[in-house]
Amino acid sequence: MKPVYFDNAATTPMRDEVVNAITEVMKNNFGNPSSSHSFGRSSKSLIEQSRKTIAGYLNVSAGEIIFTSGGTEADNLILKSAVKDLKVTKIITSKIEHHAVLHTVEALQKDFNITVNYVNIDKKGHIDFSHLESLLQGSEKTLVSLMHVNNEIGNILDLERAATLAKTYNALFHTDAVQSVGHYKMDLQDIPVDFLVAAAHKFHGPKGVGFAFIRKNSSLKPLVLGGEQERGLRAGTESIHNIVGLEKALKLAFNNLTSEMLYVKELKQYFINKIKTEIPDVKFNGDCVNDEKSTYTLVNVCLPVLPEKASMMLFQLDLKGIACSKGSACQSGSSKSSHVLAEILSEEDLQKPSIRFSFSIYNTKEEIDYVVDVLKTFIEH
């Protein structure tokens, strides 16, 4: 069996068309986009075309798209400037956010003495909207930061409901949409978010590039100082080839969205059915078996394995050529357990191995058969 890659929530393989587009730009468009000569103008026009394309898919204006090095930088830019420049004194978030948000919020609390409230979540990992509304009461300048699709358990937030609720109480709304952009259609004229972030490598684009949607007249200030690139919000010479790669990847994702979503959905359902049949004691974390409330790209399972054997599980899967994750990739190299699962699982289930399997168009049912067989053998011996 060739190696099986089931860690697409961490990063996705680049499409050939994206690699070709990037290579073409690296060879032929090397001018600095800030230069006024023809080489610079050629590079600048590629960036602006990419910005326009991305804005079109989200139904926003091109000036509201700011290119960054990825989701983490975009989250930092928005959260830090909201506190420093927009004078936000209260942030409402959840304990199951990505660390790009959680660690930034913790640092802001320490440095600026802001109030941080964590909205309650239920045992499936969903936001308690009545608690969110109660937290929004009061006169403090508030920002709500809640991710659209959870990167570990796949739960989908009702973005329109959350953003509209925030607006009702005059709060700003930020969402980390790294796991959803490129996988779902979004109309930001209908959804009143102020800030949204995305990363190209989650939808078969290059690493090291992403974008922030920053609604016009937001008055944010840059995190990185220097030149006037990116509407003055992100200094530094733009990575033209990566930006074009991001545009190409997003274009292909949206052009093929219906058929590819159907294919990956079928894979996920096949995995669920197969593992339930072969390992009847398996549990599913969060709401990942619910088609309506969870993304179609991932499953997070809690396996019936004794704690002393659990630590060997990922190692054994790796030996068999299987790539998956015990949590988000940003923490899977550490021995710490998942902060997301710690919020929703019982003490007993936290002792068992929980593994995230995430799928893409490049996966097959044969790979699922192989992986489930390897899991079953490991559990039984």
Active site residues: 330
- 175-196 exposure pattern, b = at least 16 Cβ within 10 A, e = fewer: bbbbbbbbbbebebeebbbbbb
Q: Is the dihedral angle over the CA atoms 341, 344, 348, 354 positive or is it negative?
A: negative
β-pair type (354-358, 65-68): unpaired
Cβ proximity of 98 and 202 under 8 Å? no
Q: Which single residue is written with the structure tokens 């730009």?
A: 25
Alpha helices in the chain (DSSP H): 16-28, 38-58, 71-84, 99-112, 129-135, 159-168, 240-255, 257-278, 307-310, 313-319, 339-344, 347-350, 365-380
Sheet holding 115-118: strands in order across? 65-68, 210-214, 195-199, 172-176, 142-145, 90-93, 115-118
Cβ proximity of 92 and 143 under 8 Å? yes
Q: Which single residue is written with the structure tokens 């944010």?
A: 220
295 Rama class: left (phi>0) / alpha (psi -120 to 50) / beta: beta
Q: Which single residue is written with the structure tokens 């697409």?
A: 8
For residues 242 and 136, give the distance between their C-alpha atoms in angstroms, rounded to a whole number: 39
